[in-house]
Amino acid sequence: MSTAPMIDAQRLGLMLNELRLPTIKHIWGDFAAQADKEGWPASRFLAALAEHELAERDRRRIGRHLAEAHLPAGKTLDCFAFEAVPMISKAQVMALCAGDGWLDQGSNLILFGPPGGGKSHLAAAIGLALVENGWRALFTRTSDLVQRLQVARRELTLESAIAKLDKYHLLILDDFAYVSRDQAETSVLFELISARYERRSLLITANQPFGEWNRVFPDPAMTLAAVDRLVHHATISHCLARNAPLN
């Protein structure tokens, strides 16, 4: 009667390290014992190991992408009070959270509403759902990103800084039209919008409608050009809460 060959566990561990299969390295022993006990065919044993490796890779990848997204804590769709914002369609939001279609096309999403209307919560919740569905997103206050881009311009690295943002399928710019900006700030924002136009998506929250953006930006011509690019491929929604503030 033939006997199964002895497995050099230490050597196998080294090989799995070399192949960058850490999950299989940790679970193969238990799975091998179960396979022997239950008489699994080799194909089932191999498939089970591969499935767990892929699942763990997805978990780690999503964890990395959540960490880099800088999403505010606790802002999920489950705790968003859709009933308090009747102008927002829950079905439409859930469709947007899949990301297919609009992110592939570099389309935009613009949320208007007064403070307390729920737009920042909703933007963060959409970002969270998209990351969990495999997309990459970055949530930032618009003023913070503008400051970073202005520093890059002074250091003659603005083009590179904007290019690095391409790794994000979605940039969430919170409080886009909250405070007045000078010419330099308007300029870097316009360059960012132009660079992502029809390639990468933006999600913008703003407390002032387009008709009032000339009060925010000092250059009406540049503002008009920026708005044209933003709305060309965009979904526009209004967050008007009728109950307690949600942001």
What pLDDT was estimated at residue 212?
80
- Per-residue pLDDT of 25-72, as tens digits, reads 888 889 888 988 999 999 998 998 999 889 888 889 899 999 999 999
Length of the chain: 247
Q: What predicted TM-score, i.e. pTM, was given to this entire model?
A: 0.81
pLDDT band at 7 (very low <50, low <70, confident <90, very high): low
Report the alpha-carbon distance of residue 78 to residue 177 in Å, rounded.
27
- For the record, the structure tokens of 95 come out as 């469709």
Half-sphere exposure of 38 (CA within 13 A, CB side): 11
Residue 245 has pLDDT above 80, yes or no: no
Q: Which two tokens stand for residue 220?
A: 């009406």
Q: Say how far residue 149 (Cα) sits from the centre of its chain.
A: 20
- Name every residue whose Cβ is closer than 8 Å to that of residue 101 and which is 6 or more positions away in sequence: 107
Place of tokens 């009933």: 83
Instruction: Note whether 97 and 65 are within 8 A (CB).
Output: no
pLDDT per position as a tens digit, 129-182: 999 999 999 999 998 999 999 999 999 999 999 999 999 999 999 998 766 667
Strands (E), the chain: 108-112, 137-141, 170-174, 201-206, 234-238
Question: What confidence tens digit (pLDDT) does each residue in 83-110 have?
Answer: 888 888 899 999 999 988 899 999 999 9
